[in-house]
Amino acid sequence: MSKNYVVTEIFHTLQGEGLWSGRPAVFMRLAGCNQWNGIPADRHKGSGACAMWCDTNFAKGSKMDLETVLTQLDAAWATHSLPEPGRMVVISGGEPTLQIDEALIVELKRNGWFVAIETNGTIDNPALALCDHVCVSPKRGSELLVWTAAELKVILPGGIPGGPIEHQWSNADLEYLSVLGIWSHKFVQPQDITEASAVEQTYLHTIRTGKPGEVPSGAGQFESNVQTCIDFIGTHPGWRLSYQVHKILGVK
């Protein structure tokens, strides 16, 4: 019997973050995470600081076998992009290493997909070694087990205003990650401001949907987070800025 994957959604978009920002891609968001359950009312029960500000809907999904996954990926790409070698699929979550396996990655690559994945790095899944691009985005309050990847992306500050200081990344923390890990590219990214009672409702989203002249909630804190990233990059050569361009463009 073939394995089923619990998939929250499959959709075509532009990759909005990190090294491949601006590239057309199909996202496959897998359900489930080992940091929290994705239900806003349970944010305080999360094991990582990211539970308090995560803006991704991954709490539920539909079971799909490998053939269905491939069919839906093909359909999503064909709807929006011209056929081309190296079609890009980005596997995200939640935490995708809870579900991916070697059979999935091998079959994706056999069908012409360039396979990128974003993980919090807490699960050293052997299937990661088969992916074309691995982005590790570590979260405060969790133990990092994946120390080698094409991309390291750290969300700053990593906690919420008024939250415990240990939930925020310090310069020393980032220097530690940089020295101990093997990363081809290193990014810091300003943390968006999230509505605690919702997901996918953030400061950057409301810039696109708010009324003209209206200042969305969280503007001051977000600008502070941007400045934190800029200040860090200014004193740490080798690090670059990642920005959630898809939110500014108004694409998913």
Q: How confident is the model at residue 83 (pLDDT cuts 50, 70, 90)?
A: low
Cα–Cα distance for residue pair 242/86, rounded to 1 Å: 23
- Contacts of residue 243, Cβ cutoff 8 Å, sequence gap at least 6: 16, 17, 21, 189, 190
pLDDT at residue 216 in the model: 65
Where does residue 218 fall: left (phi above 0), alpha (psi -120 to 50 degrees), or beta otherwise? left
Cα–Cα distance for residue pair 15/23, rounded to 1 Å: 5
pLDDT at residue 84 in the model: 63
Cα–Cα distance for residue pair 25/114, rounded to 1 Å: 9
Q: How many domains, the chain?
A: 1
Where does residue 240 fall: left (phi above 0), alpha (psi -120 to 50 degrees), or beta otherwise? beta
CA angle 148/154/156 to nearest 5° reads 165
Model confidence at 248: pLDDT above 90: no
Residue of higher predicted confidence among 221 and 80: 221
pLDDT at residue 134 in the model: 98
Q: What is the pLDDT of residues 91-146, one digit of tens each?
A: 999 999 999 999 999 999 999 999 999 999 999 999 999 999 999 999 999 999 99
Full domain range(s) for residue 55? 4-249
pTM of the predicted structure, to 2 decimals: 0.94
Question: In this structure, what CATH number is given to the domain that contains residue 108?
Answer: 3.20.20.70
Q: Whose CA is closest to 146, among 136, 133, 131?
A: 136
Alpha helices in the chain (DSSP H): 66-80, 102-110, 171-180, 203-209, 219-235, 245-249
Residue corresponding to tokens 């300003």: 190
Partners of 64 in beta bridges: 5
Report which DSSP code applies to 11.
E
Cα–Cα distance for residue pair 217/214, rounded to 1 Å: 9
Cα–Cα distance for residue pair 168/183, rounded to 1 Å: 21
Partners of 89 in beta bridges: 26, 115
